[in-house]
């Protein structure tokens, strides 16, 4: 499996010294909250609200902020998705895609890590804008377009390797005709356990 850390070129943003502990850990995906909840009861706790947000996640996070919301691009560029991601997107297994990893920050602190796989077909025509989002949230683009439709949400259970990494995640495909991109959102405990409970 290609290394996520080494093969993203293009507009790669150098990792900041504190980026490592917040890297996205390997994740198992479940089609229902109930199935994931059998393995991690936290899915049924305060994280449940965030796992079920149907509209723009960015908009929901902005509402939860007392002061400010911002997107920090960790890295983005052409790279090879994992085999599981390629299968999920039904694209050729070694085909490169535009991969974007960001931190979604509320009131100055990282709340969510997000990894988006944008296959070549999505970058054609108007989709070319997806390579130039910078710190503009992807959700603002997806939810303001009449073309993109979200598929069902899956719940992820992460296998954190270092403390402080996300433990719970969600992801879904967004479809435009026969094109699809994959958005994964990895919840940091600071989002649903704000007082470290």
Ligand X SMILES: C=C(O[C@@H]1C=C(C(=O)O)C=C[C@H]1O)C(=O)O
Contacts to ligand X by CB under 6 A: 56-58, 71, 100, 102, 104, 114, 116, 137-139, 142, 183, 185
Q: Is the CB of 137 or the CB of 166 nearer to ligand X? A: 137
Which residues, 6 or more positions from 59, have their beta carbon under 8 angstroms from its beta carbon? Answer: 139, 143
- Residues 30-61, buried b or exposed e (16+ Cβ, 10 A)? beebeebbeebebbeeebeebbeeeebbbeeb
Q: How far is the CB of 38 from ligand X (least distance, A)?
A: 26
Q: How far is the CB of 184 from ligand X (least distance, A)?
A: 8
Q: Is the CB of 10 or the CB of 92 nearer to ligand X? A: 10
Please identify the residue of the shown chain whose CB is closest to the bound ligand X. Answer: 139
Distance CA 138, CA 182 (A): 12
Q: How far is the CB of 124 from ligand X (least distance, A)?
A: 20
Is 100 annotated in some ligand binding site?
A: yes
Tokens (6 digits) for 188: 């940091």
Q: Is the CB of 157 or the CB of 181 nearer to ligand X? A: 181
Q: Is the CB of 43 or the CB of 57 nearer to ligand X? A: 57
Is 54 annotated in some ligand binding site?
A: no
Q: Is the CB of 119 or the CB of 139 nearer to ligand X? A: 139
Helices (H), 91-193: 138-144, 189-192
Distance CA 26, CA 159 (A): 6
Is 12 annotated in some ligand binding site?
A: no
Sign of CA dihedral 132, 81, 51, 154: positive
Q: How far is the CB of 102 from ligand X (least distance, A)?
A: 4
CB–CB of 36/45 below 8 Å? no
* Binding site listing for substrate: 100, 138, 185
* Binding site listing: 100, 138, 185
């Amino acid at each position: 499996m290609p290394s996520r850390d080494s093969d993203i070129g293009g507009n790669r943003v150098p990792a900041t010294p504190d980026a490592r502990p917040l890297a996205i850990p390997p994740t198992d995906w479940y089609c229902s909250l109930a199935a994931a909840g059998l393995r991690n009861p936290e899915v049924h706790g305060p994280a449940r609200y965030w796992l079920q947000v149907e509209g723009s996640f960015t908009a929901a996070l902005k509402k939860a902020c007392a002061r400010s919301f911002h997107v920090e691009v960790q890295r983005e560029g052409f790279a090879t998705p994992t085999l599981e991601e390629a299968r999920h997107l039904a694209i050729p297994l070694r085909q490169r895609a535009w991969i974007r990893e960001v931190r979604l920050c509320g009131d100055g602190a990282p709340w969510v890590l997000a990894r988006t796989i944008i296959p070549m077909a999505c970058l054609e025509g108007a989709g070319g804008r997806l390579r130039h989002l910078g710190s503009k949230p992807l959700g603002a683009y997806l939810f303001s377009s009449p073309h993109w439709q979200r598929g069902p949400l899956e719940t992820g259970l992460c296998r954190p390797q270092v403390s402080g990494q996300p433990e719970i995640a969600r992801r879904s495909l967004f479809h435009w005709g026969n094109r699809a991109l994959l958005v994964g959102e990895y919840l940091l405990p600071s989002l649903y356990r704000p007082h470290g409970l």
